[in-house]
């Protein structure tokens, strides 16, 4: 899909006095992988424009190839997927899922419903990320999914079960991807009877469910919604290609550039997301506004500028957990102590992000209190130069690039980013793009 890119073992970022410019965002990871699977399950061919070119989408495309789905690439970001009309040509396959949660969770549900003999496995961190709530929900309605390692975690073995779903329940308080997975598989179950999905507990990351529902509608399936407590798919609905579909720019990736504009001058404009975005992470810009930044919005762009020293923030970030990581680093430039609440889901992401964020922020001189589901950050008088470990987590690498910026409150410092290749998961050209908004020389 993309040529292998060379990354150094570490990347040194010099202090950046000011940022300004315009950034064209890569496609959304969440939208890209959902769209790929829905296109594969649809009747007809779907042309996907703006598909993210990254490790996670390559994982999904590789899995679809192994499952017999035909596709071709027209250019770097345009792909044609030939759907299987709810079936998969290959009934036995060994699937490597890397560390792509947006691939393994929905595929697990779809494969369990369609039936066959499949194994799903990934990198070591994937085998530490929970999937038990999804497996429990599917096995309870007749799926046959086994753990081949530790119970509750991949690797998985999926055999042909006997699905008898009219009602199923799935927990919503660990990862919204479990509900996304059963929602996307529900039309495959709802052949003669409606399928009702009950959510057990509080549903986190609701905006990601809105992305799922929006894309299902684009592919011809309507879900009836009873608040966030239950969802019903009526029988007789089938995924059908919309012909062509455009992937929005990644709103989580937008956060780094908007935060840069809020910290170090600006204006910085991101293209590809705006007022009309279906991604909840565009609400990141509202958090920057609360911190005092100047934000302007268009239909498909958002712009951020500094308006002096950022204000400390105390807010619930359950709705935008990925983008909230950027706020944690922006808090280094605030006028007091910031508290990010209701972010327990950080612990089951690409790494334990609560623990990792606390460790790395302390290297920069911050005083950090790490709780079970919150982090409290008091910035230092002056940021320390630091070597940042990234934990094979793309968002850790991208977030901490911001610590090289000079803000109104304090000066940035020389930052070394270890293992910068982790950004290939979602944004292979991140550091070049970040350098492009620096008014002084970055490297």
For residues 68 and 89, is the Cβ–Cβ distance under 8 A? yes
pLDDT tier at 4 (50, 70, 90 boundaries)? low
Please report, in angstroms and rounded to a whole number, the separation of the first and last CA atoms in the chain: 29
Q: Is 56 a catalytic residue?
A: no
Nearest to 351 by CA among 99, 64, 33, 165: 99
How confident is residue 5, by pLDDT bands cut at 50, 70 and 90? confident
427 confidence band (pLDDT: 50, 70, 90): very high
Q: Residue 3: pLDDT above 80?
A: no
- Half-sphere exposure (CA, 13 Å, Cβ side) for 43? 7
For 158-199, what is each residue's pLDDT tens digit? 999 999 889 999 999 999 999 999 999 999 999 999 999 999
Is the predicted pLDDT of residue 229 greater than 50, yes or no?
Answer: yes
CA–CA dist 140, 13 (Å, integer)? 51
In this predicted structure, the answer to whether residue 405 has a pLDDT above a threshold of 50 is yes
Domain boundaries, the chain: 10-27+248-435, 29-246
pLDDT band at 334 (very low <50, low <70, confident <90, very high): very high
Out of 27-36, 37-46, 355-364, 406-415, which region has the weakest mean confidence (pLDDT)?
406-415
- Residue 409: pLDDT above 90? no
Say if residue 57's pLDDT is above 90. yes
Residue 52 CA: distances (Å) to CA of 190, 216, 222, 248, 360: 31, 19, 26, 9, 28
Q: Tell whether domain 10-27+248-435 is in CATH 3.65.10.10.
A: yes
Identify the pLDDT of residue 442: 41
pLDDT grade for 440, boundaries at 50, 70 and 90: low
- Give, in words, the CATH class of 29-246: alpha beta
The two domains 10-27+248-435 and 29-246 share their CATH topology (first three levels equal): yes
| List of residues 6+ apart from 106 with CB closer than 8 A | 33, 34, 37, 177, 180, 181, 184, 185
- The answer to whether the peptide bond before residue 267 is cis (omega within 30 degrees of 0) is yes
Catalytic residue of the set 322, 389, 393, 419? 322
Q: What is the pLDDT of residues 232-284, one digit of tens each?
A: 999 999 999 999 999 999 999 999 999 999 999 999 999 999 998 999 999 99
pLDDT, position 6 = 87
pLDDT at 140 over 60: yes
Give ∠ CA 37-127-147 in degrees, rounded to 5.
Answer: 85
């Amino acid at each position: 899909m993309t040529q292998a890119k060379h990354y150094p073992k570490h990347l040194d970022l010099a202090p950046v006095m000011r940022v300004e410019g315009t950034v064209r965002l890569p496609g959304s990871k969440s939208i890209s992988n959902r769209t790929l699977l829905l296109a594969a399950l649809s009747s007809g061919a779907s042309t996907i424009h703006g598909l993210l070119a990254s490790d996670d989408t390559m994982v999904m495309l590789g899995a679809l190839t192994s499952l017999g789905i035909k596709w071709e690439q027209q250019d770097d970001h345009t792909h044609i997927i030939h759907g299987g009309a709810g079936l998969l040509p290959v009934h036995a396959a060994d699937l490597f899922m890397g560390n792509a949660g947006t691939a393994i969770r929905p595929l697990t549900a779809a494969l369990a419903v369609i039936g066959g003999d499949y194994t799903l496995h990934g990198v070591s961190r994937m085998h530490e990320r929970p999937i038990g709530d999804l497996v429990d929900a599917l096995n309870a309605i007749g799926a046959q999914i086994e753990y081949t390692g530790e119970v509750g975690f991949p690797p998985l073995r999926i055999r042909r079960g006997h699905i008898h779903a009219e009602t199923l329940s799935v927990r919503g308080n660990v990862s919204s991807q479990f509900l996304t997975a059963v929602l996307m598989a529900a039309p495959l179950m709802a052949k003669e009877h409606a399928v009702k999905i009950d959510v057990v507990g509080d549903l986190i990351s609701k905006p990601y469910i809105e992305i799922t529902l929006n894309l299902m509608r684009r592919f011809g399936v309507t879900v009836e919604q009873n608040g966030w407590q239950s969802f019903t798919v009526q029988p007789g609905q089938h995924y059908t290609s919309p012909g062509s579909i455009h992937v929005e720019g990644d709103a989580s990736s937008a956060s780094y550039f908007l935060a840069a504009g809020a910290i170090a001058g600006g204006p910085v404009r991101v293209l590809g997301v705006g007022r009309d975005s279906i991604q909840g992470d565009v609400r990141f810009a509202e958090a920057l506004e609360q911190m005092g930044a100047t934000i302007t919005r268009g239909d498909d762009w958002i712009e951020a500028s500094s308006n002096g020293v950022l204000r400390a923030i105390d807010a619930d970030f359950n709705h935008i957990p990925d983008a909230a990581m950027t706020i944690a680093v922006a808090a280094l430039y605030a006028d007091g102590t910031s508290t990010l609440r209701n972010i327990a889901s950080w612990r089951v992401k690409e790494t334990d992000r609560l623990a990792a964020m606390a460790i790395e922020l302390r290297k920069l001189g911050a005083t950090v209190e790490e709780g079970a589901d919150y982090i409290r950050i008091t910035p230092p008088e002056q940021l320390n130069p630091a070597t940042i470990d990234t934990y094979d987590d793309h968002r850790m690498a991208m977030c901490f690039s911001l610590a090289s910026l000079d803000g109104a409150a304090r000066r940035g410092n020389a930052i070394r980013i270890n293992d910068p290749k982790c950004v290939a998961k979602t944004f292979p050209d991140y550091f070049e793009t970040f350098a492009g908004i620096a008014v002084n020389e970055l490297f």
